[in-house]
Chains A and B, each alone.
Chain A
């Protein structure tokens, strides 16, 4: 569906995207994740023909975006980071223009405008000036615009930035619905968002692709940081003895606290943290030592993200 090969973009001496290659298949919601300035917007702008590449190529349904821009662009609906809206127009006028520019005419144009107004739930504001609409509604008008012409791929650049929590939830629901009928690619620097809606995640850092997998597989990547933290009323030696007798525990850190408890973080090698917790509980119970607190810690996408982008960038803000 979309093939990106050896994409490189330089601004003078600065390399925004370097040798990026990936392939996107039909019918999934893809998340484009990376810290600010990682090259997400640049890559999306190149994929939609808004920006040229220094090297490499992007093919959409087999059409090169630079060689056959018209055919390639027909397959894409794009919402840039800042929705490209004409403030002195109403959504109806705006959508009519975009529809006509995408080659729609007459009754088909009218039908599609009504369809996207319904999908984006902006039918009731279609005759108000865009300048009078709230940020959330403007975002929806931007998404409606991307949907016109029924493109196979919808590309959304940070669609939820600057929205309030309720609007964020609404836009996410909308994206999820779109994912049922379209291929959706969205970029974000918010991990929970990508985890919540995307079926596959591309992590990029400093213009390079560092990971491309399903969110749950990425978490498995970091099995090593799965662990159990607990506080027990026992001395360091006793804890060492207990932990030594339990399988699947590789290493641990001990921190003696002033109120008598000892805080421990143990790294586990197994996915089945529950079993290890149970084992720990009975081991301490046998020794008549109380566990005051116990919790398992599962690595999430955030850890993967930090692990992958750390060191390379130093700008991982989230």
Chain B
């Protein structure tokens, strides 16, 4: 794992990726700090982070688009497969390298609250609590980006998928207000999701029976629960959409609450997507 980590890191700092990523992140935070902390003379640094977090939709794909897609394109994945290292070690090595690149500009950002504290009253626990949550949220998105990159051999395609996925996650709370909250609406949405899931599984595993089986099972469960107790579906979809939002949980920190469940949620998302990335790499051996 260390070999992959070192190799990836040297790759990022030899190419422009790490510098572009850092430049964007620092620019976003810098502009935010200029507007909030300096121009408006607000002492809360966490608001800046809350303001710039939409920038993730741009900078995370820059960082993650090539991480696995490029290996596939250059056929260097064959080298990784033939080396005596496990697939999980490859993915972990790559992920920790990405985290390191992500941490570098954050270390610079971490100095800002201290600077502002020289000129007035800054409540540091909230600032650093938010910064930590900001790191965790980014880490979760990097994991998702890594998985998206493992699905394709085209970097542009990987970025093109990652941007809308992050945007969708960002707006899911707003969108949830427009989604039907009735029981029948939720049931219909779940059935559509089951069908889509079936297609995705069929595409990934090339196993029709498995895909349709899972799809039909979920649909049956939805129908049975709907007829047994339709009140369970009341407001379910908007609720799920809000719960899935990474950003919504981050705003809790901005508002001054250190929410452990959110941290656990982020860690769960990271593990989930890294697991999927490993499976995605493994699966290519079974195509």
Chain A residues 288-315 with CB under 8 Å of chain B are: none
- Chain B, 58-87, contact with A by CB distance < 8 Å: what is the 0/1 string? 000000000000000011111101111110
Is A97 a contact partner of B3 (Cβ separation < 8 A)?
A: yes
The stretch among B10-18, B44-52, B188-196 that forms the contact with chain A is B10-18
Is B206 a contact partner of A12 (Cβ separation < 8 A)?
A: yes
Is A101 a contact partner of B4 (Cβ separation < 8 A)?
A: yes
Closest chain A residue to B206, Cβ basis? A12
Is B79 a contact partner of A98 (Cβ separation < 8 A)?
A: yes
A48 to B79, CA, bound (A): 10
Closest chain B residue to A87, Cβ basis? B74
Of B2, B74, B83, chain A has the most CB atoms within 10 Å of the CB of B83
Q: Does A245 contact B (CB under 8 A)?
A: no
Is A49 a contact partner of B81 (Cβ separation < 8 A)?
A: yes
Of A50, A82, A87, A93, chain B has the most CB atoms within 10 Å of the CB of A50
A89 to B79, CA, bound (A): 15
Is A88 a contact partner of B3 (Cβ separation < 8 A)?
A: no
- Please list 24 pairs of residues, one from A and one from B, whose beta carbons are closer than 8 Å in the complex, sorted by A's number: A45-B78, A48-B81, A49-B81, A69-B84, A69-B86, A70-B86, A71-B84, A78-B78, A84-B74, A85-B76, A87-B74, A88-B11, A88-B14, A88-B15, A93-B10, A97-B3, A97-B6, A98-B83, A100-B2, A100-B7, A101-B84, A102-B84, A103-B84, A145-B79
Determine the chain B residues whose CB is within 8 A of the CB of A48 once the complex forms.
Answer: 81-82
Determine the chain A residues whose CB is within 8 A of the CB of B75 once the complex forms.
Answer: 80, 82, 84
In whole Å, how far is A32's beta carbon from the nearest beta carbon of chain B? Answer: 17
- Contact A86 B76, CB 8 Å, known A97-B3, A97-B7, A100-B3: yes
Closest chain A residue to B4, Cβ basis? A101
A225 to B75, CA, bound (A): 43
Is A73 a contact partner of B83 (Cβ separation < 8 A)?
A: yes
A134 to B287, CA, bound (A): 32
A50 to B80, CA, bound (A): 9
A2 to B7, CA, bound (A): 31
- Chain B, 1-38, contact with A by CB distance < 8 Å: what is the 0/1 string? 01110110011001100000000000000000000000
Known: A88-B15, A100-B2. 12 other contacts (CB 8 A): A12-B206, A50-B78, A69-B86, A73-B84, A80-B75, A82-B75, A84-B74, A84-B78, A87-B74, A101-B83, A101-B84, A103-B84
Q: Does A76 contact B (CB under 8 A)?
A: yes
Determine the chain A residues whose CB is within 8 A of the CB of B119 once the complex forms.
Answer: none
- B78 interface neighbour in A71, A80, A88, A98, Cβ under 8 Å: A80
Is chain B's binding surface mostly helix, strand, loop or mixed?
helix
- Contact A73 B82, CB 8 Å, known A97-B7, A101-B4: yes
- Chain B, 78-122, contact with A by CB distance < 8 Å: what is the 0/1 string? 110111111000000000000000000000000000000000000
In whole Å, how far is A294's beta carbon from the nearest beta carbon of chain B? Answer: 52
> What is the interface size of chain B, counting residues whose CB is below 8 A from a CB of the partner?
25
- Contact A101 B85, CB 8 Å, known A52-B286, A86-B74, A88-B14: yes
Q: Does A51 contact B (CB under 8 A)?
A: yes
Determine the chain A residues whose CB is within 8 A of the CB of B14 once the complex forms.
Answer: 88-89
- A50 interface neighbour in B7, B84, B285, Cβ under 8 Å: B285
A49 to B76, CA, bound (A): 14
A positions within 8 Å CB-CB of B? 11-12, 45, 48-52, 69-71, 73-74, 76, 78, 80, 82, 84-89, 93, 97-98, 100-103, 145
Determine the chain A residues whose CB is within 8 A of the CB of B285 once the complex forms.
Answer: 50-52
A87 to B203, CA, bound (A): 32
Closest chain A residue to B285, Cβ basis? A52
Is B81 a contact partner of A101 (Cβ separation < 8 A)?
A: no
B positions within 8 Å CB-CB of A? 2-4, 6-7, 10-11, 14-15, 74-79, 81-86, 206, 285-287
Is B79 a contact partner of A84 (Cβ separation < 8 A)?
A: yes
Closest chain A residue to B77, Cβ basis? A84
Of B81, B82, B206, chain A has the most CB atoms within 10 Å of the CB of B82
A80 to B86, CA, bound (A): 19
A51 to B6, CA, bound (A): 26
A288 to B190, CA, bound (A): 99
Of B2, B4, B77, B81, chain A has the most CB atoms within 10 Å of the CB of B81
Is A50 a contact partner of B86 (Cβ separation < 8 A)?
A: no
In whole Å, how far is B162's beta carbon from the nearest beta carbon of chain A? Answer: 22
In whole Å, how far is B85's beta carbon from the nearest beta carbon of chain A? Answer: 6
In whole Å, how far is A123's beta carbon from the nearest beta carbon of chain B? Answer: 21
Is A100 a contact partner of B82 (Cβ separation < 8 A)?
A: no
Determine the chain B residues whose CB is within 8 A of the CB of A86 once the complex forms.
Answer: 11, 74, 76
Please list the 8 inter-chain residue pairs (A to B) with the smallest Cβ-Cβ separation, ordered nearest first: A84-B79, A100-B3, A73-B84, A50-B81, A101-B3, A97-B7, A84-B76, A78-B82
A138 to B97, CA, bound (A): 27
Is A85 a contact partner of B6 (Cβ separation < 8 A)?
A: no
In whole Å, how far is A136's beta carbon from the nearest beta carbon of chain B? Answer: 18
Determine the chain B residues whose CB is within 8 A of the CB of A45 once the complex forms.
Answer: 78
Determine the chain A residues whose CB is within 8 A of the CB of B79 once the complex forms.
Answer: 80, 84, 98, 145
Determine the chain B residues whose CB is within 8 A of the CB of A84 once the complex forms.
Answer: 74-79
Of A71, A86, A145, chain B has the most CB atoms within 10 Å of the CB of A86
Determine the chain A residues whose CB is within 8 A of the CB of B286 once the complex forms.
Answer: 52
A78 to B7, CA, bound (A): 20
In whole Å, how far is A64's beta carbon from the nearest beta carbon of chain B? Answer: 14
In whole Å, how far is A89's beta carbon from the nearest beta carbon of chain B? Answer: 8
Is B78 a contact partner of A74 (Cβ separation < 8 A)?
A: no
- A49 interface neighbour in B3, B7, B82, Cβ under 8 Å: B82
Is A85 a contact partner of B7 (Cβ separation < 8 A)?
A: no
